[in-house]
């Protein structure tokens, strides 16, 4: 039977998951884990809004319910213990933020990371939340035993624009501090400048500021992706534009006639970002490196 727990304005529905590892196709990784269905953040551009529509909630104007997979760490331990598991790379946070505020109460992501470390399974994790710093100890353990890459999402350093795009997310300065904190512990951590939002976060000055700040805070890598809009995310984003930037509505109707903007625009913005990356000369970082595979196997003999 489902249990419901209220955290502020959000109802947390505690559910038992039958499986945790999700097979993924068409991505650079084969497996993913999402400890939560639904996301507290409610970023205006997020494609996870579709999740709430599936759950028969309003994925456009907001929602009040998140599903918490309370048994996920135990289920994951069983899945990683199966003889056919080959320690393939696992991505955490592909749909919803694994360190969204409810994680402060439930600590499910922390226990999942511990299980991945126990099973020596390499992983990547993407988040917008400084809460990840709480788990530096288990993240270090995973980095030592397998492999770990952490990505902090940061589309702009403009605090006002960030607050409008990501209304419940920590400001850019705190996310940079998160990057610096994790990098100082030897973890491989970087920045995703995603999404690049045309006319709002696509300037050369914004790219230059982010890249240089990331470099100075210890980033090992950066990558970017241009905004795309489908289904509920499209409706949500146009509501956002009409409220905050009505002058861009007609332009967005033109460039987002389809899910993705025109290829020429995407390529131009990517070239702009890449040129700032080259100019910043991101240094090669020394990070925690796990033992070679043969050394790991020796531990089981």
Domain at 3-298: CATH code: 3.20.20.70
Would you list the domain boundaries of the chain?
3-298
pLDDT, tens digit, 9 for 90 and up, residues 156-193 = 999 999 999 999 999 999 999 999 999 999 999 999 99
Strand 31-33 and strand 189-196: pairing?
unpaired
pLDDT, tens digit, 9 for 90 and up, residues 139-151 = 999 999 999 999 9
Tell me how far CA of residue 265 lies from CA of 116, 167, 262, 269, in angstroms. Answer: 39, 27, 5, 6
Residue with the bigger pLDDT between 47 and 277: it is 277
What number is the average pLDDT over the span 60-88? 89
Residue 72's contacts (CB-CB under 8 Å, 6 or more residues apart) are 17, 20, 33, 35, 108, 111, 112
Spatial separation of the C-alpha atoms in residues 14 and 70, rounded to whole Å: 6
Give the number of other CB atoms < 10 A from CB of residue 286: 8
**Three-state SS for 192?**
strand
Spatial separation of the C-alpha atoms in residues 68 and 3, rounded to whole Å: 10
Spatial separation of the C-alpha atoms in residues 289 and 199, rounded to whole Å: 40
For 31-50, give the DSSP string: EEE-SEES-SS--TT-TTHH
Spatial separation of the C-alpha atoms in residues 109 and 127, rounded to whole Å: 11
Q: Which value, to the nearest 10 degrees, does the dihedral of the CA atoms of residues 123, 129, 130, 133 take? A: -20
Residue with the bigger pLDDT between 122 and 297: it is 122
Q: Which of 40, 58, 73, 72 has the alpha carbon at shortest distance from 231?
A: 58
pLDDT at 50: 61
Residue 293's contacts (CB-CB under 8 Å, 6 or more residues apart) are none
């Amino acid at each position: 039977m489902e249990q419901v727990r209220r955290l502020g304005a959000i109802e947390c529905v505690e559910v038992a998951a039958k499986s945790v590892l999700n097979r993924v196709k068409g991505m650079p990784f084969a497996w993913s884990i999402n400890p939560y269905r639904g996301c507290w953040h409610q970023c205006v551009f997020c494609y996870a809004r579709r999740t709430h529509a599936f759950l028969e909630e309003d994925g456009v104007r907001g929602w009040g319910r998140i599903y918490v997979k309370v048994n996920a760490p135990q289920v994951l331990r069983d899945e990683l213990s199966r003889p056919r598991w080959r320690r393939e790379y696992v991505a955490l946070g592909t749909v919803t933020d694994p360190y969204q505020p409810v994680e402060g109460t439930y600590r499910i992501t922390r226990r999942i990371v511990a299980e991945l470390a126990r099973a020596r399974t390499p992983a990547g994790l993407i988040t917008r939340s400084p809460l990840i710093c709480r788990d530096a100890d288990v993240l270090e353990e995973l980095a030592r035993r397998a492999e770990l890459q952490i990505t902090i999402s940061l589309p702009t350093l403009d605090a006002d624009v960030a607050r409008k795009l990501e209304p419940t997310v920590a400001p850019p300065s705190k996310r940079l501090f998160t990057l610096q904190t994790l990098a100082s512990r030897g973890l491989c951590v970087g920045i995703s400048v995603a999404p690049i939002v045309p006319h709002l976060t696509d300037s050369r000055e914004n790219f230059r500021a982010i890249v240089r700040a990331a470099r100075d805070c210890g980033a090992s890598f950066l990558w970017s992706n241009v905004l795309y809009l489908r289904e509920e995310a499209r409706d949500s984003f146009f509501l956002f534009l009409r409220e905050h930037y009505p002058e861009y509505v007609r332009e967005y109707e033109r460039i987002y006639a389809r899910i993705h903007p025109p290829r020429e625009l995407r390529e131009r913005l990517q070239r702009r970002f890449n040129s700032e990356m080259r100019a910043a000369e991101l240094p090669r970082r020394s990070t925690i490196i796990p033992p070679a595979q043969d050394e790991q196997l020796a531990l089981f003999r």
